[in-house]
Amino acid sequence: MKKVFSALAGLLLVSTTMTAAANEPITRKICVFDIAGNAGPIMQAMRDWRTDALSWGLRAELVPYTNEAIVSEDLQAGICDAGLITGIRTRNFNRFAGTVDSIGGIPDFEHMRMVMQVLAHPSSAERMATGSYTVMGVAPAGAAYVFVNDREINTLSRAAGKRVAVLEFDPTQAELVSQIGATPVLSDLTNFSNRFNNGVVDVIAAPLATYSALELYRGLSPDGGIINYPLAQITVQLVARSSRIPADIAQKSREYFFDNFDAILDVLNAEASAIDPKWFVEIPEEDKAEYEDMMQEARIDLREKGHYSPEMLTLQRRIRCRFDNTRGECTNPVE
Protein backbone atom coordinates (compact mmCIF):
# COMPACT_ATOMS: atom_id res chain seq x y z
CA MET A 1 0.00 0.00 0.00
CA LYS A 2 2.88 2.32 0.81
CA LYS A 3 4.23 1.70 -2.68
CA VAL A 4 0.87 2.70 -4.19
CA PHE A 5 0.77 5.96 -2.21
CA SER A 6 4.40 6.59 -3.09
CA ALA A 7 3.63 6.14 -6.80
CA LEU A 8 0.56 8.42 -6.57
CA ALA A 9 2.62 11.05 -4.77
CA GLY A 10 5.23 10.81 -7.48
CA LEU A 11 2.64 11.27 -10.21
CA LEU A 12 1.17 14.25 -8.35
CA LEU A 13 4.60 15.84 -8.03
CA VAL A 14 5.30 15.36 -11.74
CA SER A 15 1.88 16.78 -12.65
CA THR A 16 2.40 19.81 -10.42
CA THR A 17 5.85 20.41 -11.86
CA MET A 18 4.53 20.16 -15.40
CA THR A 19 1.73 22.64 -14.64
CA ALA A 20 4.18 25.09 -13.11
CA ALA A 21 6.46 24.73 -16.12
CA ALA A 22 3.53 25.28 -18.47
CA ASN A 23 2.70 28.51 -16.67
CA GLU A 24 6.24 29.83 -16.91
CA PRO A 25 6.52 32.66 -19.44
CA ILE A 26 8.59 32.03 -22.54
CA THR A 27 11.58 34.29 -23.10
CA ARG A 28 12.06 35.80 -26.55
CA LYS A 29 14.39 38.38 -28.07
CA ILE A 30 12.57 41.39 -29.53
CA CYS A 31 14.69 43.65 -31.73
CA VAL A 32 13.43 47.24 -31.90
CA PHE A 33 14.30 49.84 -34.52
CA ASP A 34 14.50 53.25 -32.88
CA ILE A 35 16.72 55.79 -34.61
CA ALA A 36 17.26 57.42 -31.20
CA GLY A 37 18.49 54.17 -29.65
CA ASN A 38 17.72 52.90 -26.17
CA ALA A 39 16.51 56.30 -24.95
CA GLY A 40 14.15 56.82 -27.89
CA PRO A 41 10.36 57.09 -27.75
CA ILE A 42 9.77 53.82 -29.60
CA MET A 43 11.86 51.88 -27.07
CA GLN A 44 9.88 53.50 -24.27
CA ALA A 45 6.61 52.47 -25.89
CA MET A 46 7.90 48.92 -26.28
CA ARG A 47 8.82 48.80 -22.59
CA ASP A 48 5.15 49.47 -21.83
CA TRP A 49 4.23 46.67 -24.26
CA ARG A 50 6.74 44.37 -22.53
CA THR A 51 4.97 44.91 -19.20
CA ASP A 52 1.66 43.71 -20.62
CA ALA A 53 3.30 40.91 -22.59
CA LEU A 54 4.44 39.27 -19.37
CA SER A 55 0.79 38.72 -18.43
CA TRP A 56 0.30 36.90 -21.75
CA GLY A 57 3.15 34.51 -20.96
CA LEU A 58 5.90 36.32 -22.86
CA ARG A 59 9.07 37.62 -21.25
CA ALA A 60 10.45 40.04 -23.84
CA GLU A 61 14.13 40.91 -24.00
CA LEU A 62 14.16 44.24 -25.84
CA VAL A 63 17.24 45.04 -27.92
CA PRO A 64 17.48 48.53 -29.49
CA TYR A 65 18.80 48.97 -33.04
CA THR A 66 19.49 52.29 -34.75
CA ASN A 67 19.70 50.62 -38.18
CA GLU A 68 16.45 49.15 -39.48
CA ALA A 69 18.16 47.07 -42.16
CA ILE A 70 20.05 45.11 -39.51
CA VAL A 71 16.82 44.41 -37.60
CA SER A 72 15.37 42.94 -40.80
CA GLU A 73 18.49 40.87 -41.46
CA ASP A 74 18.71 39.58 -37.89
CA LEU A 75 15.02 38.66 -37.96
CA GLN A 76 15.53 36.63 -41.13
CA ALA A 77 18.63 34.99 -39.67
CA GLY A 78 16.79 33.95 -36.52
CA ILE A 79 18.90 36.17 -34.26
CA CYS A 80 15.72 38.04 -33.38
CA ASP A 81 12.50 36.23 -32.50
CA ALA A 82 10.60 39.37 -33.50
CA GLY A 83 11.51 42.78 -34.85
CA LEU A 84 9.83 46.18 -34.87
CA ILE A 85 10.31 47.73 -38.32
CA THR A 86 8.53 50.14 -40.66
CA GLY A 87 5.48 48.96 -42.54
CA ILE A 88 7.24 49.52 -45.85
CA ARG A 89 9.88 46.96 -44.91
CA THR A 90 7.22 44.63 -43.47
CA ARG A 91 6.11 44.09 -47.06
CA ASN A 92 9.05 41.68 -47.40
CA PHE A 93 7.56 39.51 -44.64
CA ASN A 94 3.81 40.01 -45.03
CA ARG A 95 2.49 41.76 -48.13
CA PHE A 96 -1.01 42.20 -46.68
CA ALA A 97 0.11 44.12 -43.58
CA GLY A 98 2.91 45.84 -45.49
CA THR A 99 0.41 47.37 -47.91
CA VAL A 100 -1.18 49.42 -45.11
CA ASP A 101 1.41 52.07 -46.07
CA SER A 102 0.24 52.19 -49.70
CA ILE A 103 0.39 55.59 -51.37
CA GLY A 104 -2.92 57.41 -50.90
CA GLY A 105 -4.64 54.31 -49.54
CA ILE A 106 -5.59 55.80 -46.15
CA PRO A 107 -6.52 59.50 -46.26
CA ASP A 108 -6.41 60.33 -42.54
CA PHE A 109 -6.24 59.01 -38.99
CA GLU A 110 -9.95 58.18 -38.77
CA HIS A 111 -9.63 55.91 -41.78
CA MET A 112 -6.47 54.51 -40.20
CA ARG A 113 -8.32 53.73 -36.96
CA MET A 114 -10.79 51.56 -38.85
CA VAL A 115 -8.01 49.74 -40.72
CA MET A 116 -6.21 49.08 -37.42
CA GLN A 117 -9.44 47.78 -35.87
CA VAL A 118 -9.85 45.28 -38.70
CA LEU A 119 -6.24 44.11 -38.44
CA ALA A 120 -6.54 43.57 -34.67
CA HIS A 121 -9.71 41.48 -34.97
CA PRO A 122 -9.26 37.69 -34.59
CA SER A 123 -10.84 37.20 -38.02
CA SER A 124 -7.75 38.80 -39.59
CA ALA A 125 -5.30 36.47 -37.82
CA GLU A 126 -4.88 34.21 -40.84
CA ARG A 127 -3.85 37.11 -43.09
CA MET A 128 -1.49 38.48 -40.48
CA ALA A 129 0.42 35.19 -40.56
CA THR A 130 2.04 34.27 -43.87
CA GLY A 131 4.77 31.72 -44.40
CA SER A 132 7.30 31.82 -41.59
CA TYR A 133 6.26 35.19 -40.17
CA THR A 134 3.44 36.69 -38.12
CA VAL A 135 2.64 40.38 -37.67
CA MET A 136 2.08 40.92 -33.94
CA GLY A 137 0.95 44.52 -34.14
CA VAL A 138 0.65 47.64 -36.27
CA ALA A 139 1.01 51.19 -34.95
CA PRO A 140 0.66 54.53 -36.74
CA ALA A 141 3.81 56.62 -37.20
CA GLY A 142 2.04 59.54 -38.86
CA ALA A 143 1.09 60.61 -42.36
CA ALA A 144 3.94 61.20 -44.81
CA TYR A 145 4.07 64.74 -46.20
CA VAL A 146 6.29 66.15 -48.92
CA PHE A 147 9.02 68.49 -47.64
CA VAL A 148 10.57 70.75 -50.30
CA ASN A 149 13.47 73.22 -50.15
CA ASP A 150 11.61 75.53 -52.52
CA ARG A 151 7.93 76.21 -51.82
CA GLU A 152 7.35 76.80 -55.53
CA ILE A 153 7.54 73.00 -55.95
CA ASN A 154 3.86 72.67 -55.11
CA THR A 155 2.64 70.69 -58.12
CA LEU A 156 3.70 67.42 -59.74
CA SER A 157 4.88 69.20 -62.87
CA ARG A 158 7.16 71.47 -60.84
CA ALA A 159 8.82 68.43 -59.25
CA ALA A 160 10.23 67.42 -62.63
CA GLY A 161 14.02 67.54 -62.63
CA LYS A 162 14.26 67.79 -58.85
CA ARG A 163 16.27 65.40 -56.69
CA VAL A 164 14.05 63.25 -54.45
CA ALA A 165 15.28 61.00 -51.64
CA VAL A 166 13.84 57.48 -51.93
CA LEU A 167 14.41 54.47 -49.68
CA GLU A 168 16.88 52.15 -51.37
CA PHE A 169 15.16 48.97 -50.12
CA ASP A 170 11.79 49.97 -51.64
CA PRO A 171 11.92 49.90 -55.45
CA THR A 172 8.39 51.31 -55.70
CA GLN A 173 9.51 54.75 -54.52
CA ALA A 174 12.16 55.19 -57.20
CA GLU A 175 9.65 54.04 -59.80
CA LEU A 176 7.04 56.59 -58.72
CA VAL A 177 9.56 59.43 -58.60
CA SER A 178 10.82 58.62 -62.08
CA GLN A 179 7.26 58.66 -63.43
CA ILE A 180 6.88 62.35 -62.57
CA GLY A 181 10.20 63.23 -64.19
CA ALA A 182 12.16 63.72 -60.97
CA THR A 183 15.50 62.11 -60.10
CA PRO A 184 15.43 59.45 -57.36
CA VAL A 185 18.39 59.54 -54.95
CA LEU A 186 18.80 56.24 -53.11
CA SER A 187 18.84 56.81 -49.35
CA ASP A 188 17.97 55.09 -46.09
CA LEU A 189 16.33 56.09 -42.83
CA THR A 190 19.66 57.05 -41.29
CA ASN A 191 20.70 59.59 -43.94
CA PHE A 192 17.68 60.85 -45.91
CA SER A 193 17.04 63.74 -43.52
CA ASN A 194 20.69 64.83 -43.52
CA ARG A 195 20.66 64.86 -47.30
CA PHE A 196 17.66 67.15 -47.26
CA ASN A 197 19.07 69.39 -44.54
CA ASN A 198 22.37 69.70 -46.41
CA GLY A 199 20.79 70.39 -49.81
CA VAL A 200 21.85 67.11 -51.43
CA VAL A 201 18.20 66.43 -52.30
CA ASP A 202 15.39 68.90 -52.95
CA VAL A 203 12.47 66.77 -51.80
CA ILE A 204 11.74 64.15 -49.14
CA ALA A 205 8.60 62.53 -47.77
CA ALA A 206 8.42 62.19 -43.99
CA PRO A 207 5.88 62.09 -41.14
CA LEU A 208 5.28 65.46 -39.46
CA ALA A 209 6.30 63.90 -36.14
CA THR A 210 9.91 63.72 -37.37
CA TYR A 211 10.15 67.49 -37.97
CA SER A 212 11.85 68.32 -34.65
CA ALA A 213 13.71 65.06 -34.06
CA LEU A 214 15.36 65.15 -37.50
CA GLU A 215 15.72 68.96 -37.52
CA LEU A 216 13.96 69.21 -40.87
CA TYR A 217 13.54 72.96 -40.38
CA ARG A 218 17.18 73.18 -41.49
CA GLY A 219 16.34 71.82 -44.91
CA LEU A 220 13.21 73.97 -45.15
CA SER A 221 15.05 77.20 -44.44
CA PRO A 222 14.76 79.74 -45.88
CA ASP A 223 12.41 79.18 -48.82
CA GLY A 224 11.07 75.67 -48.39
CA GLY A 225 7.75 74.30 -47.30
CA ILE A 226 5.61 71.30 -46.41
CA ILE A 227 2.96 70.46 -49.00
CA ASN A 228 -0.23 70.25 -46.95
CA TYR A 229 -1.47 67.03 -48.47
CA PRO A 230 -0.73 63.60 -46.94
CA LEU A 231 0.65 61.02 -49.36
CA ALA A 232 0.50 57.90 -47.19
CA GLN A 233 0.01 56.73 -43.63
CA ILE A 234 3.29 55.38 -42.29
CA THR A 235 3.33 52.55 -39.73
CA VAL A 236 5.69 50.55 -37.58
CA GLN A 237 4.96 46.86 -37.31
CA LEU A 238 6.07 44.09 -34.98
CA VAL A 239 6.97 41.08 -37.11
CA ALA A 240 7.74 37.72 -35.48
CA ARG A 241 9.02 34.35 -36.55
CA SER A 242 5.84 32.25 -36.31
CA SER A 243 7.67 29.27 -34.84
CA ARG A 244 8.86 31.36 -31.90
CA ILE A 245 5.65 33.16 -30.88
CA PRO A 246 2.43 31.27 -30.03
CA ALA A 247 -0.61 32.38 -32.02
CA ASP A 248 -2.58 33.39 -28.92
CA ILE A 249 0.20 35.72 -27.77
CA ALA A 250 0.44 37.25 -31.25
CA GLN A 251 -3.30 37.95 -31.18
CA LYS A 252 -3.15 39.57 -27.73
CA SER A 253 -0.30 41.72 -28.97
CA ARG A 254 -2.28 42.91 -32.01
CA GLU A 255 -5.16 43.85 -29.73
CA TYR A 256 -2.76 45.71 -27.43
CA PHE A 257 -1.46 47.78 -30.36
CA PHE A 258 -5.00 48.76 -31.37
CA ASP A 259 -6.05 49.51 -27.78
CA ASN A 260 -3.19 52.02 -27.63
CA PHE A 261 -4.01 53.68 -30.96
CA ASP A 262 -5.37 56.87 -29.37
CA ALA A 263 -2.41 57.23 -27.01
CA ILE A 264 -0.02 57.00 -29.96
CA LEU A 265 -2.16 59.46 -31.90
CA ASP A 266 -1.91 61.99 -29.07
CA VAL A 267 1.88 61.83 -29.23
CA LEU A 268 1.92 62.21 -33.02
CA ASN A 269 -0.45 65.17 -32.92
CA ALA A 270 1.59 66.84 -30.19
CA GLU A 271 4.75 66.53 -32.29
CA ALA A 272 3.00 67.84 -35.40
CA SER A 273 1.57 70.81 -33.51
CA ALA A 274 5.12 72.01 -32.80
CA ILE A 275 5.62 72.86 -36.49
CA ASP A 276 5.44 76.55 -37.33
CA PRO A 277 2.34 77.03 -39.56
CA LYS A 278 4.40 79.25 -41.89
CA TRP A 279 5.97 76.16 -43.45
CA PHE A 280 2.73 74.69 -44.78
CA VAL A 281 2.02 75.18 -48.46
CA GLU A 282 -1.54 74.81 -49.72
CA ILE A 283 -2.13 73.33 -53.15
CA PRO A 284 -5.04 74.14 -55.50
CA GLU A 285 -8.14 71.97 -55.13
CA GLU A 286 -7.95 70.94 -58.79
CA ASP A 287 -4.43 69.62 -58.18
CA LYS A 288 -5.67 67.42 -55.33
CA ALA A 289 -7.87 65.56 -57.80
CA GLU A 290 -4.81 65.03 -59.99
CA TYR A 291 -2.91 63.70 -56.97
CA GLU A 292 -5.71 61.23 -56.17
CA ASP A 293 -5.81 59.94 -59.75
CA MET A 294 -2.03 59.57 -59.84
CA MET A 295 -1.96 57.69 -56.54
CA GLN A 296 -4.75 55.34 -57.59
CA GLU A 297 -2.93 54.56 -60.84
CA ALA A 298 0.25 53.96 -58.86
CA ARG A 299 -1.50 51.56 -56.44
CA ILE A 300 -3.00 49.55 -59.29
CA ASP A 301 0.34 49.40 -61.10
CA LEU A 302 2.15 48.27 -57.93
CA ARG A 303 -0.57 45.71 -57.28
CA GLU A 304 -0.15 44.26 -60.77
CA LYS A 305 3.61 44.07 -60.27
CA GLY A 306 3.17 42.14 -57.02
CA HIS A 307 4.31 44.86 -54.63
CA TYR A 308 0.90 45.62 -53.09
CA SER A 309 -1.63 43.18 -51.67
CA PRO A 310 -4.93 43.21 -53.62
CA GLU A 311 -6.81 42.26 -50.43
CA MET A 312 -5.45 45.22 -48.48
CA LEU A 313 -6.14 47.65 -51.32
CA THR A 314 -9.73 46.39 -51.45
CA LEU A 315 -10.09 46.80 -47.69
CA GLN A 316 -8.79 50.37 -47.88
CA ARG A 317 -11.12 51.23 -50.75
CA ARG A 318 -14.13 49.87 -48.84
CA ILE A 319 -13.20 51.95 -45.81
CA ARG A 320 -12.78 55.09 -47.95
CA CYS A 321 -16.25 54.48 -49.36
CA ARG A 322 -17.69 53.90 -45.91
CA PHE A 323 -16.61 57.43 -44.99
CA ASP A 324 -17.66 58.94 -48.34
CA ASN A 325 -19.85 56.85 -50.64
CA THR A 326 -19.98 59.62 -53.28
CA ARG A 327 -16.45 58.83 -54.42
CA GLY A 328 -16.29 57.57 -57.99
CA GLU A 329 -14.42 54.43 -56.92
CA CYS A 330 -17.43 53.36 -54.85
CA THR A 331 -19.67 52.86 -57.89
CA ASN A 332 -16.86 51.80 -60.23
CA PRO A 333 -14.34 49.93 -58.06
CA VAL A 334 -10.99 49.01 -59.60
CA GLU A 335 -9.19 48.12 -56.39
Residue-by-residue pLDDT tens, the chain, 335 positions: 444 334 434 433 333 333 334 579 999 999 999 988 999 999 999 999 999 999 999 999 999 999 999 999 999 999 999 999 999 999 999 999 999 999 999 999 999 999 999 999 999 999 999 989 999 999 999 999 999 999 998 877 788 899 999 988 888 888 888 888 899 999 988 899 999 999 999 999 999 999 998 999 999 999 999 999 999 999 999 999 999 999 999 999 999 999 999 999 999 999 899 999 999 999 888 888 888 998 999 999 999 999 999 999 999 999 999 999 999 999 999 99
Provide the pLDDT for residue 327: 93
Provide the pLDDT for residue 23: 73
Provide the pLDDT for residue 157: 79
Specify the 3-state DSSP secondary structure of 279: helix
Helical residues (DSSP H) of the chain, grouped into ranges:
2-23, 41-56, 68-77, 87-90, 95-98, 109-120, 125-128, 171-179, 192-197, 217-220, 247-259, 261-272, 285-304, 310-323, 328-331
Provide the pLDDT for residue 6: 43
51-58's contacts with Cβ under 8 Å and 24+ in sequence apart are 52/256, 53/249, 53/253, 53/256, 54/25, 56/248, 56/249, 56/252, 56/253, 57/23, 57/25, 57/26, 57/246, 57/249, 58/25, 58/26, 58/28, 58/245, 58/249
Give the Cα separation of 320 and 109 in Å (integer).
12
Provide the pLDDT for residue 11: 38
Task: Give the contacts of 123 (CB within 8 A, at least 6 positions apart).
Answer: none
Is 40:64 a contact under the CB 8 Å cutoff?
A: yes
Provide the pLDDT for residue 203: 95
Provide the pLDDT for residue 13: 38
308-311's contacts with Cβ under 8 Å and 24+ in sequence apart are 308/95, 308/99, 308/102, 309/95, 309/96, 309/98, 309/99, 310/335, 311/96, 311/127
